[in-house]
Chain A
C-alpha cells in the first residue's frame, strides 16, 4: 500500500492532462471552422508585437491600477507554476521537496513564490472588489449577465483558494520540518512549538520557515499528525486544483492565458484604417469593367459576400472570439456604446464565441451546424448593433490583446448589404447617389468644381 499515493497521483495527473488535451483539441477544431487565411507576413514584427503586447502586457498599463494588479496575477501565476514542477516530481515518485537539495537557492525560490502568492491574493481581492463592491461600470453591464459574471468571480475565488493552499502547505510543512530538526537537536516538542510561536521564524529550525507562511503557523494546530494532514490536504488541493483549473479554461474567458499569445501574434499589423478588399468582389468588378476577361468556370460555387455565420469569418477572427477576456475596455471607449446604442464590441466578440461553441456542440453530435435556421447574424448579432458602429477603431486600439471587433462588424454588414440588400434606407440612398452622381449626396457631378468660382 506504500505506493498508493503515487499511483493515485499519477492517475489523476494523466486524467487531467488527457481531458485538457481533448478539450483544447475541440477549441482548435472550432477555430478551424473559420475560413482558412494565410498569415505569413512580417514574422519578425509579429514576434516583436507578441513580446510587447502579450508577454510584456504593454497595452494593459494604459489603465495603471488594473495593469499593475494584472501583472501581479500574471507573473505570480507563471512563476508559482515553477513550483508545480516539484509537485509533479514529488507526486509521481513519492519524494518530498525533491528540489530542496539546492539549499539556499531553494529557500530563495520558495520565499519568492510566497511573496508573489501574497501579491496574487491582493490582486484577486482588489479585482473582486472592483467587480462586486465598487461595481465598475464595465463590469456591471448587461453584456456580462449570467455566466460571464460568475465565470469572472469563480476564477478569482479559485486563484485565492490555490494561493491559500500553497501558503498553508508551506506553513504546516515548515513546522513539521522544524520538529524533525529540533528532535535531532534534542529540543522537546513543546519547546519547539512554543519557541516557534514566540520567535517566529528566526530561532528554531530557521531554514524551514518561509517568510510569508511563517506568519500563518499561529493558526495551525500543535499535533504533528494534524499538521501532516493539513500539509497533505493543501498539497493535494493545490495540484488537483491546478488540474481542475486547467480543465475549466476551455469553458471560460480565462482561456486567454493561453490564446492571448497566438492571438496577438496573428493580429492585424496594418494601418487600422485599412479594411480588407474582398477578392471575390475584385474579380467580379474586373469582369464588369473589362468584359473581355475570361468568365469564371461555370461549375464554380458562387462566392458568399461578407459573413452570415462563423464559418464565413476567418480563423483569426474566431480565435479573437475565444481569446476575448471580456474586460470591456473596448466597449468603455466605444462612441456608440457610450451613447446608449445597442452596440457593444465586447458583446460582438462574446456572441461570436457563443455561436461558435454552439456550432461545436453540433459538430460533436456529427451534425452539420450550418443547415439549421440559426446563424451568427440575426440570432446572435442584430443589424441594429451593426449599424451603430462609426468604424472609429477605438475598440481595436483599447483591446489589450489586439482583438478586432470592427472586422467582424464590417463582414456582417457586407452580408446584409451585398447578399440581402438590407441596408437602412438612408444608406441605400447614399449608395444610389454614389452610383449616379459619384458623390454620396445628390449633386450633379458637373458642379464638382463650382467652389473654384465662388468667392465667399
Chain B
C-alpha cells in the first residue's frame, strides 16, 4: 500500500536539534527537488524509501539554500562562495557528518568543492546511499512491476565522469529483474542531457539541434520501456525530449528512487 507523504514525519535539523537528537543522515533535497513539480516526486520517493528502511534522517527545510553549483559553472564564483559559506555555516552548526543528496550537482559541489571552504562531510548521491542500504540488508529490492521490462540508464555527468560512479545506479536497477540495456553512448562515454553548466537556465546557443534531442535519439534507438535517471535536470531534459518525439506513452522517464518506490509499492 502506497503511503502518503503527509503520513511520514519529516524532521528538520532544527527540530531534531531542539530535541537534542542527531539524525543518521542529512537529506539534502536541492532546489529542483524542493520546487520543481516533477523533481518533487523524486524527493518524495527518496523520503519514502528512507522512511521504509527506518533511516533516521532530517532535512534543512527553509534553512537549505542553493549549493551555488549553477552559479559556479556559469562563472559566478562570488555568488558560489557566498552560497557555499552560508550553507557550510549552517551545516557545521548542526555538526552534520553524513549527507545524502537527491541531485548529482549538489552531491559534486558539497563533496568536492566545500571542503576547501571549511565544510567536510561524507557525501553520497542517493543511488550510492540506497546501494549501501541494500548491501546492509536494510533495503530489499525485487522486480515488482518492472520485471522483464527493458530499462536503460542515462549517466548523469556529475555522477559518472565527474565522480567516477557508474555502478551504484546499475547495481540497484539490476535488482529489478529487468532487462538492463546500455545506450550506444554510456558510462564514461555517456552523452550529456544538455542541462549542465548553467544551460538549464538559458536559451541554447545557436546550433542545429538541441542536446537533449540528440540524447533522446540514443534512447529512442534502444526503444526501452523505461529510461532511468539519477538527476532532476536530466529528468527534465529527457522527459521533454521523449515528449517532443510523442513517445511519452511508450517510454517512461523515471528516477531510480521512483522505480524502487514503485517496485516496492511504497
Segment of A162-170, A203-211, A362-370, A417-425 engaged in the interface with chain B: A417-425
Count CB-based A-B contacts (< 8 Å): 227
Verify A335–B194 contact, CB threshold 8 A: yes
Indicate whether B162 reaches chain A with its CB closer than 8 angstroms: yes
Chain B residues near A342: list those with CB within 8 A. 205-207
Segment 139-178 of B: residues with Cβ below 8 Å from A:
157-158, 161-164
Indicate whether B76 reaches chain A with its CB closer than 8 angstroms: yes
Verify B206–A341 contact, CB threshold 8 A: yes
Indicate whether A186 reaches chain B with its CB closer than 8 angstroms: no
* Residue contacts A-B, CB under 8 angstroms, 9 given: A275-B113, A285-B81, A305-B78, A333-B189, A335-B215, A392-B161, A414-B75, A439-B65, A445-B65
Q: From known contacts A423-B75, A426-B202, infer whether A388 and B196 are also in contact, taking CB-CB under 8 Å.
A: no
Chain B residues near A456: list those with CB within 8 A. 5, 41, 44
Indicate whether A18 reaches chain B with its CB closer than 8 angstroms: no
Verify B117–A277 contact, CB threshold 8 A: yes
Write the nearest CB–CB distance from A308 to chain B, whole angstroms.
13
Chain A residues near B199: list those with CB within 8 A. 390
**Out of A413, A418, A424, which one reaches B78, CB within 8 Å?**
A418
Verify B205–A388 contact, CB threshold 8 A: yes
Verify A423–B43 contact, CB threshold 8 A: no
Cα distance A270–B195 in the bound complex, in angstroms: 23
Indicate whether A429 reaches chain B with its CB closer than 8 angstroms: yes
A426-451 interface mask toward B, CB cutoff 8 Å, 1 = contact, 0 = none?
11011100110011110101111111
Indicate whether A42 reaches chain B with its CB closer than 8 angstroms: no
Q: From known contacts A440-B70, A456-B41, infer whether A390 and B201 are also in contact, taking CB-CB under 8 Å.
A: no
Indicate whether B40 reaches chain A with its CB closer than 8 angstroms: yes
Write the nearest CB–CB distance from A276 to chain B, whole angstroms.
9
In the complex, besides A333-B189, A440-B200, 8 extra interface pairs with C-beta distance below 8 angstroms are A272-B162, A274-B162, A278-B77, A285-B82, A391-B197, A424-B202, A439-B66, A451-B44
Chain A residues near B215: list those with CB within 8 A. 335
Segment 61-119 of B: residues with Cβ below 8 Å from A:
61-62, 64-66, 68, 70-79, 81-83, 85, 108, 111-113, 116-117
Verify A394–B192 contact, CB threshold 8 A: yes
Write the nearest CB–CB distance from A217 to chain B, whole angstroms.
49
Write the nearest CB–CB distance from A288 to chain B, whole angstroms.
7
Verify B201–A427 contact, CB threshold 8 A: yes
Verify A284–B192 contact, CB threshold 8 A: no
Chain B residues near A439: list those with CB within 8 A. 31, 34-35, 65-66
- Residue in A closest to B210 when the chains form the complex, CB atoms: A339
Chain B residues near A416: list those with CB within 8 A. 75
Indicate whether B254 reaches chain A with its CB closer than 8 angstroms: no
Indicate whether A289 reaches chain B with its CB closer than 8 angstroms: yes
Indicate whether A338 reaches chain B with its CB closer than 8 angstroms: yes
Q: From known contacts A277-B113, A343-B205, A426-B201, infer whether A390 and B210 are also in contact, taking CB-CB under 8 Å.
A: no
Cα distance A342–B40 in the bound complex, in angstroms: 35
Cα distance A343–B198 in the bound complex, in angstroms: 15
Q: From known contacts A336-B211, A454-B40, infer whether A414 and B77 are also in contact, taking CB-CB under 8 Å.
A: yes
Q: From known contacts A390-B195, A391-B73, A417-B76, infer whether A426 and B203 are also in contact, taking CB-CB under 8 Å.
A: yes
Indicate whether B263 reaches chain A with its CB closer than 8 angstroms: no
Indicate whether B10 reaches chain A with its CB closer than 8 angstroms: yes
- Residue in B closest to A290 when the chains form the complex, CB atoms: B85
Segment 375-431 of A: residues with Cβ below 8 Å from B:
384, 387-394, 396-397, 410, 413-418, 423-424, 426-427, 429-431
Q: From known contacts A270-B112, A281-B77, infer whether A392 and B192 are also in contact, taking CB-CB under 8 Å.
A: yes
Cα distance A394–B160 in the bound complex, in angstroms: 10
